[in-house]
Amino acid sequence: MSGHSKWSTIKRKKGAEDAKRGKIFTRLARDLMLAAREGGGDPNSNPTLRTAFEKARAANMPKDNIERAIKKGTGELAGDELEEIMYEAYAPHGIPVLIKCVTDNRNRILADLRKVFNRQGGNLAEAGAVAWMFSTKGYIEIERDDHDPDEIFLLAVDAGADDVDVGEEIIEIYTAADMLHAVSTLLSDNGLSIQEAELMPIPNNEIELGHKETLQVMGVIESLEDLDDVQQVYSGLHITDAVLAELEAA
């Protein structure tokens, strides 16, 4: 289940996101706006906004930018009419892909998505063709730091988590969709710094490809993630340790 997260960890270690700080801030601002629009502008009563707020602070997003994004979401300031859309697609070799977009122009993002697939393989799919291969679950990511993973495991399970995956640098916690808020709140109340807390489509089954084919699919995923209107890409690709090691060393 953690292929997406492992890849994200490698990108952070390489500093790829820092090199695109302006784009990071744009994505964070959109998260803040949407969260405030859906649940109000108070992070204390809006857990989705609180998570987006903490992510923005962790990325050193200027305070004024954060406050402006929240006010745009609540309507206190004029802002773009953004909509969140989940596109379904197949990457090369039949790998199912969900592409979370936040855009003010559907025609633009559709053209951009088609351009990536036309150049690198794969294609957009009709609604419902891919989504059934994923289940929506709560996902929580915690920096491991000096925390005792056994204590976090017990704390998370007692709070209602379904699964805990302990990695070298991060601990991933999966919950039922309706338990995300309760589990993340309990972990936060116990002094743990939550890096991610969101509802996420998790593939029901991961597909393992050959080495070359895996790299090809990951190239497509990277190109999709580079698009301005794309917030996140979820795939059913299983990323082997061998591929991860190669990418980490590159």
Question: Has this prediction a pTM greater than 0.75?
Answer: yes
Task: Give per-residue pLDDT as tens, 206-246.
Answer: 999 998 999 999 899 989 998 989 988 999 998 887 877 77
Q: Which two tokens stand for residue 15?
A: 């500093």
Task: Give per-residue pLDDT as tens, 144-154.
Answer: 777 788 888 89
Above 80 in pLDDT, residue 72?
yes
Task: Give per-residue pLDDT as tens, 174-207.
Answer: 999 989 888 988 888 888 878 788 888 999 999 9
Judged by average pLDDT, the poorest of 46-50, 125-129, 144-148, 199-203 is 144-148
pLDDT-based confidence at residue 3 (cuts at 50, 70, 90): very low
Judged by average pLDDT, the poorest of 32-36, 157-161, 230-234, 246-250 is 246-250
Q: Which residues contact 211 (CB under 8 A, 6 or more apart)?
A: 240, 242, 243
Mean pLDDT within 92-111: 94
Here the contacts of 59-68 (C-beta below 8 Å, separation 24 or greater) are 59/21, 59/24, 59/25, 59/28, 61/24, 61/25, 61/28, 61/29, 65/25, 65/29, 66/32, 68/29
**Which is it for the CA torsion 229, 24, 152, 44, positive or negative?**
negative
pLDDT-based confidence at residue 11 (cuts at 50, 70, 90): low
Q: Which domains does the chain have, with CATH numbers?
A: 3-74 (1.10.10.200), 83-132+206-249 (3.30.70.980), 134-203 (3.30.70.980)
Three-class DSSP category at 3: helix
Judged by average pLDDT, the poorest of 8-22, 54-68, 193-207, 214-228 is 8-22
List beta partners, residue 95: 91
Here the contacts of 241-246 (C-beta below 8 Å, separation 24 or greater) are 242/211, 243/211, 243/214, 243/215, 243/218, 244/6, 244/7, 244/10, 246/215
Please count the helices (runs of H) and the strands (runs of E) in the chain. 9, 10
Q: Which of 97, 181, 101 has the alpha carbon at shortest distance from 140?
A: 181
pLDDT of residue 147: 79
